[in-house]
Amino acid sequence: MTEPLHINQDRLQASLTEFAAIGATPGGGVTRLAMSEEDRQARDLLRQRMSEAGLTVRIDDLGNITGRRDGTEPGPAVILGSHLDTVERGGRYDGALGVLGALEVVRTLNDHGLSTRLPIEVVNWTDEEGARFQPANMASGIMAGAFTPDELYERRDRDGIRFLDELRRHGYLGEIANRPGPATAYLELHIEQGPALEAAGLPVGVVEGVVGIIWSKVTIAGQANHVGTTPMTLRHDALAAAAQLIAAVETLGRETPGAVATVGRLSLQPNNPGVIPGLVECIVDFCHQDEATLEALATRLLRIADDLDAQRGVTMTIERIWTSQPAPFPASTVDLVADACQLAGYPAMRLWSGAGHDAMYMQRVCPTGMIFVRSKGGLSHSEAEYSTPDDLAAGTNVLFRATLVIAEAI
Amino acid sequence: MTEPLHINQDRLQASLTEFAAIGATPGGGVTRLAMSEEDRQARDLLRQRMSEAGLTVRIDDLGNITGRRDGTEPGPAVILGSHLDTVERGGRYDGALGVLGALEVVRTLNDHGLSTRLPIEVVNWTDEEGARFQPANMASGIMAGAFTPDELYERRDRDGIRFLDELRRHGYLGEIANRPGPATAYLELHIEQGPALEAAGLPVGVVEGVVGIIWSKVTIAGQANHVGTTPMTLRHDALAAAAQLIAAVETLGRETPGAVATVGRLSLQPNNPGVIPGLVECIVDFCHQDEATLEALATRLLRIADDLDAQRGVTMTIERIWTSQPAPFPASTVDLVADACQLAGYPAMRLWSGAGHDAMYMQRVCPTGMIFVRSKGGLSHSEAEYSTPDDLAAGTNVLFRATLVIAEAI
């Protein structure tokens, strides 16, 4: 039996460093908003590096870049992808790792003269972050039928610049026929963006799916009044009611296994230290992998609001403003990634993704799996985002091993 | 024994209606910001009505208007005053009642050909509300030595217009020699701006003093992080910590007799529904009539913050940004107003003012008392502010009776 093959850690690291220089920020991070000048530079460089690796590059109508390595047979491709765009002052690895890790998989196959029965396609998805043009994951969402191309084209950034015009200007408006696929599977390598792997002391993890999310907007109408002249017993303080709601939401999150529950946005009126708050608006976020549990959390919120209304003489109105269904990955793909993990020499810890990814939509198109890499402090969307070279290589080795199996290396 | 004298309720009401027309808002309230064109019109009319009532009118260096009715002796005056300025979209009675009620007292004395041994001065204080030029109660504060005239002169409104220039432009920059006083006592009639009299079913109340106030700014530093990827157990949510603080502040207010405790202002960062709040700033207001209790509340806040820091791994920093000492009125003046109340035929319910008034500063200058009039729903600084004609007359009758005693009617 031969020594197991590994990806080239130094080459991967050099590749990540090369791309991190495009849009580099003084704080050590990257600003590379979708279809900005920096994004164009990174895209142009990716196409060059793809071609050098022997991939056939094509651009589709959404600006997605696909680099194809043919298989020995014409069957559906194994797609490996992620995104090169970042948020403002984001990190070096969020997205870039999945694209450049996929490129490293191809380079490693080339190094060893390996063919695969099925084709391999390396994809850079357009506008994963949604930082410049909302919503996030638009291009993969279109692949899944969640949006139409026209919806994407008409999106404008905060300066009023239209997405379609930027796509044309940078030369990234291609043909619909050039979209990735047809696919036999989709694999995405990504930093965890959470602290679970760090807490477990493990370099990589096997993702079981992307959690579902419900955002509920809660409007609390109380009675504004002078703080000094209104006795405690005669108040209808909307912020004090909100405080109880926030505490109850936190308790729900703590007591429901696998759930998180957060109030991240809140505003109040009149927001004057001398006036009892008369109106509060806040958004409650629930995430859970199981749809029934997620819906039960939203129902519990309604009951909490009813109780607080009765207790405090306020009126809470709840409007669901966003629902994202849980996207579990198929057990067969998850098992396959777990096997690849163990073959590469790492314990296969399973976890759910609490953040959205293009994989969430690709799961509607073909069997999908994800590999997470340990992220220091769980930080992401931050210039301080960091994963060690060893961990980045570990994740890429898992991606490599999984690809060998699915694409049927010869 | 003759029938006890009463003020003229219809004339008082006509007077209130006349002034409410100046700066009247479509919603039935009044906008008459200090030293605005509307304030000038009201001031000019007041001088005319004072002169018609036989008062000698003078304007001081702060723009205060004093109308003097001589006594039979040259001793110190009994000052009756309040203010004609309002907040934006304020009510018809907050301030105006005290000035026009005092004018009605003089008119009633005139009606009955009554002299007093001591002079009576009716005062319209400049800029009580602080709605245009901060802080509030500036002119009476200068009388008490809390501020200097130059501090007032240099204040600018949000359009950058300087107070001194407005004073000159409207012809209200007079001489320092024209300030009210010297005074033997100060009496102020005012709507309650709170619900205590309404709750007790009484038209008038005897004010024992103005509560002290402490404003503490609390800064809560937690850790911002992705809501979906950060387990509940690994969070340092600054808003969840703030929610516990708000609940604890409310409990402090409820459990401390005579206290109110409120968080009326709050801001958070990044204030994004998808991010755990990393930073919260809020202002805690404590009001109490007793200085030691007030300070004890502020000390309790420090301990609550320490406990929450330890529980939640956040860092709360507390800075006291404003302290207003309690201003108790002398027992002799309070008793005198209570006697006047009973003489006028009303139960003398005693209560503290939770709102600031010029009386708060005048208490440092001379013995001071206040009379409150029942305010519908406790509303003030609102177009919906309302007191019945009967209640307004009741308060003015109490002011009249107290004046007869202190000024020594002959």
pLDDT value at position B272? 86
Whether residues A227 and B381 touch (CB distance < 8 A) is answered with no
The DSSP string of B336-397 is: HHHHHHHHTTS--EEEEE-S--HHHHHTTTS-EEEEEE--GGG--SSTT----HHHHHHHHH
CA distance A69 to chain B (A): 34
Structure token digits, residue A103: 């490129």
Mutate to test the interface with A, among B226, B236, B322, B324 (most CBs of A within 10 A): B226
| CA-based nearest residue in chain A for residue B249 | A240
Backbone angles phi, psi at A96, to 5 degrees: -55, -40
- Choose among B388, B409, B226, B77: nearest CA to A193: B226
Backbone angles phi, psi at A200, to 5 degrees: -85, -10
Chain A CB contacts of B194 below 8 Å:
226, 228-231
User: Hey, is the C-beta of A311 within 8 angstroms of any chain B C-beta?
Assistant: no
Q: Which of residues 215-234 of B touch A (CB under 8 A)?
A: 215, 225-234
CA distance B187 to chain A (A): 20
Whether residues B246 and A230 touch (CB distance < 8 A) is answered with no
Q: What is the pLDDT of residues B288-333, one digit of tens each?
A: 999 999 999 999 999 999 999 999 999 999 999 989 899 999 999 9
Q: What is the pLDDT of residues A90-112, one digit of tens each?
A: 999 999 999 999 999 999 999 99
Chain A CB contacts of B253 below 8 Å:
232
From B227, B355, B381, residue closest to A285, measured CB to CB: B227
| CA-based nearest residue in chain A for residue B263 | A273
pLDDT over 90 percentage in chain A: 90
Least confidently predicted of A22-36, A59-73, B220-234, B303-317: B220-234
CA distance A243 to chain B (A): 4
Q: Which residues of B175-213 are buried (b: 16+ CB within 10 A; e: fewer)?
A: eeeebbbebbbbbbbbbbbbbbbbeeebbbbbbbbbbbb
- Choose among B348, B220, B340, B338: nearest CA to B284: B220
pLDDT value at position B134? 87
Q: What is the pLDDT of residues A124-170, one digit of tens each?
A: 999 999 989 988 999 999 999 999 999 899 999 989 999 999 999 99
Pairing of strands B212-221, B315-324: antiparallel
User: Hey, is the C-beta of A88 within 8 angstroms of any chain B C-beta?
Assistant: no
**How many CB contacts within 8 angstroms connect chain A with chain B?**
187
Whether residues B229 and A262 touch (CB distance < 8 A) is answered with no
pLDDT over 90 (residue B3)? no
| Mean per-residue pLDDT, A20-25 | 98
pLDDT over 80 (residue B4)? no
Whether residues A230 and B378 touch (CB distance < 8 A) is answered with yes
Chain A CB contacts of B274 below 8 Å:
264, 285
| CA-based nearest residue in chain B for residue A322 | B273
User: Hey, is the C-beta of A337 within 8 angstroms of any chain B C-beta?
Assistant: no
| Mean per-residue pLDDT, B344-360 | 95
Query: Cα(B247)–Cα(B307) distance, rounded to whole angstroms?
Result: 14
Which residues is B186 bridged to in the sheet? Answer: B79, B368
Query: Cα(A352)–Cα(A254) distance, rounded to whole angstroms?
Result: 17
pLDDT value at position A2? 52
Q: What is the pLDDT of residues B246-292, one digit of tens each?
A: 999 999 999 999 999 999 999 999 898 888 999 999 999 999 999 99
pLDDT value at position A380? 83
- Choose among B97, B42, B161, B36: nearest CA to B399: B97
Q: Is B210 left (phi over 0), alpha (psi -120 to 50) or beta?
A: beta
Query: Is the complex ipTM more than 0.85?
Result: no
User: Hey, is the C-beta of A283 within 8 angstroms of any chain B C-beta?
Assistant: yes
pLDDT over 90 percentage in chain B: 90
From B229, B285, B287, residue closest to A192, measured CB to CB: B229
Pairing of strands A315-324, A212-221: antiparallel
CA distance A355 to chain B (A): 5
CA distance B311 to chain A (A): 14
Chain A CB contacts of B195 below 8 Å:
229-231, 234
Query: Cα(A367)–Cα(A182) distance, rounded to whole angstroms?
Result: 12
CA distance A279 to chain B (A): 11
Q: What is the pLDDT of residues B75-124, one digit of tens each?
A: 999 999 999 999 999 999 999 999 999 999 999 999 999 999 999 999 99
Mean pLDDT of chain A, nearest integer:
96
pLDDT over 50 (residue B1)? no
Whether residues A264 and B283 touch (CB distance < 8 A) is answered with no
Whether residues A192 and B237 touch (CB distance < 8 A) is answered with no
Whether residues B244 and A240 touch (CB distance < 8 A) is answered with no
User: Hey, is the C-beta of A379 within 8 angstroms of any chain B C-beta?
Assistant: yes
pLDDT over 50 (residue A1)? no
| Mean per-residue pLDDT, B28-48 | 97
Beta carbons within 8 Å of A293's beta carbon, 6+ residues apart: A256, A258, A259
**pLDDT tier, B225 (very low <50, low <70, confident <90, very high otherwise):** confident
Whether residues A229 and B193 touch (CB distance < 8 A) is answered with yes
User: Hey, is the C-beta of A55 within 8 angstroms of any chain B C-beta?
Assistant: no
Chain B CB contacts of A131 below 8 Å:
none
Whether residues A275 and B253 touch (CB distance < 8 A) is answered with no
From B227, B244, B277, residue closest to A247, measured CB to CB: B244
From B232, B263, B355, residue closest to A228, measured CB to CB: B355
Whether residues A232 and B273 touch (CB distance < 8 A) is answered with no
Chain B CB contacts of A381 below 8 Å:
226
Q: What is the pLDDT of residues A227-266, one digit of tens each?
A: 998 999 999 999 999 999 999 999 999 999 999 999 999 9
Q: Is A160 left (phi over 0), alpha (psi -120 to 50) or beta?
A: left
Q: What is the pLDDT of residues A297-348, one digit of tens each?
A: 999 999 999 999 999 999 999 999 989 899 999 999 999 999 999 999 999 9
Q: What is the pLDDT of residues B127-147, one digit of tens each?
A: 999 999 988 999 999 999 999
**pLDDT tier, B2 (very low <50, low <70, confident <90, very high otherwise):** low
Q: Which of residues 199-218 of B touch A (CB under 8 A)?
A: 199, 211, 213, 215
Beta carbons within 8 Å of B355's beta carbon, 6+ residues apart: A226, A228, A229, B193, B194, B210, B380
User: Hey, is the C-beta of B262 within 8 angstroms of any chain A C-beta?
Assistant: yes
**pLDDT tier, B380 (very low <50, low <70, confident <90, very high otherwise):** confident
Whether residues A229 and B353 touch (CB distance < 8 A) is answered with yes
CA distance B273 to chain A (A): 4
CA distance A285 to chain B (A): 7
| Mean per-residue pLDDT, B179-189 | 97
User: Hey, is the C-beta of B364 within 8 angstroms of any chain A C-beta?
Assistant: no
pLDDT value at position A379? 85
Beta carbons within 8 Å of B197's beta carbon, 6+ residues apart: B203, B204, B205, B349, B351, B372, B373, B374, B375
CA distance A71 to chain B (A): 37
CA distance B252 to chain A (A): 10
pLDDT value at position B399? 98
Q: Which amino acid is at A143?
A: M
pLDDT value at position B291? 96
